[in-house]
Structure 1
Amino acid sequence: MTETLEEKVARVLKDRIELVPPDPAWPKLFEEEKARLLACLPEGLVVRVEHFGSTAIPGIWAKPVVDVLVEVADLDRARDEAAPVLEAMGYDYFWRPQPEGSTPPHYPWFIRRGPSGERTHHIHMTVADSTLWEGLVFRDYLQAHPDAAAEYERLKRRLIADHPGDRAAYTSGKTGFVRDIAARAAAGR
C-alpha cells in the first residue's frame, strides 16, 4: 500500500532529535553526497551545491544530519526530474512550504537515510533568488564568530531539553536567533 502524504509527514516528524559532538567526517560526507547528486541528477539541472547547517560549522554539537543546499536551474524540473530519481534511490521527498514572505513559497526537500533508517542528509533544492541562500550568511557568520556558534549550540541544547521529540518546536525555536545573526551580519558586527 502506498503511503499518503499525511502518513509520510507523521512518520518523519517522529524521527528522534539528538545533538552529537562535532564529527570531522561531516565535510567528507557532504563531498560524497555532492558527488552522488551530481552523478545521478539530470545534466544541466544543478547549478551549485553548498554545505550548510550546523554540520558545516566547526566545533559545535549538531544533529548528525548533513544539510546540502542545491541551486537548481528550475524548480519545476527539480520536482519533475530530480524527485523521481532520488525517491527511487530511497530518499523521502516533500514539496516543502517555506515561512510566509519567503521565496519561493515551496521547494523540493529530500531526506536521505542510513542503513538503520536514521537521517543522514537533508537536501534542499532551490533557485538562485531564494531566501534559502540566507543560510549561507548564517553559516559563514558562525564560522567566523565562534562565540556566536557556541551561543547557537546552547540554544539548540535548551530547545531539545524543553521540547523533546517536538521537531517543529525545535526548528521554530531557532528562528529568532537566526534572524539576529542575519542582522548582525548585515550590520557587519
Structure 2
Amino acid sequence: MQHSEAPRRADVTTVEIVGGPERLTVGLHEYDPGWATVFETNRRRIQDALAGARAGSEPVVIEHIGSTSVPGLAAKPIVDIVVAVGDITAEEDYLDPLLAAGYVLRVREPGHRLVRTPERDVHVHVYQLGDPAIAGYLLLRDHLRADPADRALYEGTKRALMARSWADMNAYSDAKTEVIVAIKERARRAAGLSDRPA
C-alpha cells in the first residue's frame, strides 16, 4: 500500500458527530446488484472531486466496503466506501472538495472522517493511507465474499439485531462487533495473517 505523508498538523482529539445520535430506521434488504452501480457512480464523483486538490500527488484509494459490497448478503441500503488520503489532518485537500461535491459531514474523529450523501444512502469513510482500519475493512469484505458459512453467520446476526429497536444507529453497529471480530480472526487465519491485526 502507498505510504502516507507527514501530517501537516495535529489531528483532532475529540469525536464530533454532526447532528447527534440518529435512530436506526432502515431495515435489511436482500442483496441488490444496483449497489455496485451506486458505488461506481460515487467512486467517480469522489475521484473527480479530489483530482484537482491532489494534482501531482499519489492516487487515492477508493474501495467499496461493508455489506453492500458482498454479493448475496442482505444489507441496509447504505453503500459504504473507504477512501485513503495522504494526510488525514489536511482537510483542505479532501474534506473541502468532498463537501463542495455535495457530501455532508457526519463524523470527525481521530484518524477518521465520515461524509455522506444528503439522502444518507452513501457513507464515505476517509482514513490516512496505511491506517489498519482500511486493511480490516478489505479483509472482512473479501472473506465474506468467499466464505458462505461466515456470510450466513453475519447475515443471521444482523437479522437478529434488527428485530430490536435502536435509538442510536451507532449502538446497532457496536452490537455487531463481537461477531465481526470472530469472523475477521478466521479471515486472518485463512489468509495466513493471524499474527497481524486488521
TM range (shorter): 0.7 to 0.9
Matched residue, 2:19: 9
Q: Return the structure number with greater relative CO, CA threshold 8 A, min gap 6.
A: 2
- The alignment's C-alpha RMSD in Å is 2.2
TM-score (norm 2): 0.78
Deviations 1:96-132, CA, capped at 9 Å, x for gaps: 33xxxxxxx331211113xxx3x21110111222121
Amino acid at match of 1:107: H
**Aligned amino acid, residue 158 of structure 1:** A
Aligned to 2:96: 84
User: Partners of 2:98 and 2:131 in 1: how far apart?
Assistant: 22
Deviation digits for residues 40-98 of structure 1 (CA, Å, limit 9, x no counterpart): 11223752111110000111110111111111111122x2232222223432214433x
**Matched residues, number:** 172
Structure 1 segments unaligned to the other structure (5+ residues): 98-104
Task: Give ranges in structure 2 of 5+ residues lacking alignment.
Answer: 1-14, 192-198
Q: Note if 1:96 corresponds to 2:98.
A: no
The partner residue of 1:38 within 34, 39, 47 is: 47
Residues 137-146 or 87-96, more deviating: 87-96
Please name the residue that 2:117 is paired with.
Answer: 112
| Residue 30 of structure 2, aligned match among 6, 14, 21 | 21
- For the 8 Å contact 2:49–2:101, the answer to whether it is kept is no
Which residue number in structure 2 is paired with residue 47 of structure 1?
60
Map Cα deviations across residues 14-38 of structure 1 (whole Å, 9 max, x no partner). 3523211111111111111111111
Amino acid at match of 1:106: G
Alignment of 1:157-168 (within 5 A): 157-168=159-170
Contact 1:163 1:170 in 2 (8 A): no
After superposition, where does 1:125-164 map in structure 2 within 5 Å?
Answer: 125-133=126-134, 134-164=136-166
What's 2:195 paired with? none
Q: Secondary structure of the equivalent of 2:84?
A: strand
Q: TM-score, normalised by structure 1?
A: 0.81
Supply the distance in 1 between the matched residues of 2:32 and 2:167 (Cα, whole angstroms).
23
* Equivalence for 1:101: none
Runs of 4 or more, structure 1, over 6 Å off, are: none
Q: Secondary structure at the match of 2:60?
A: strand
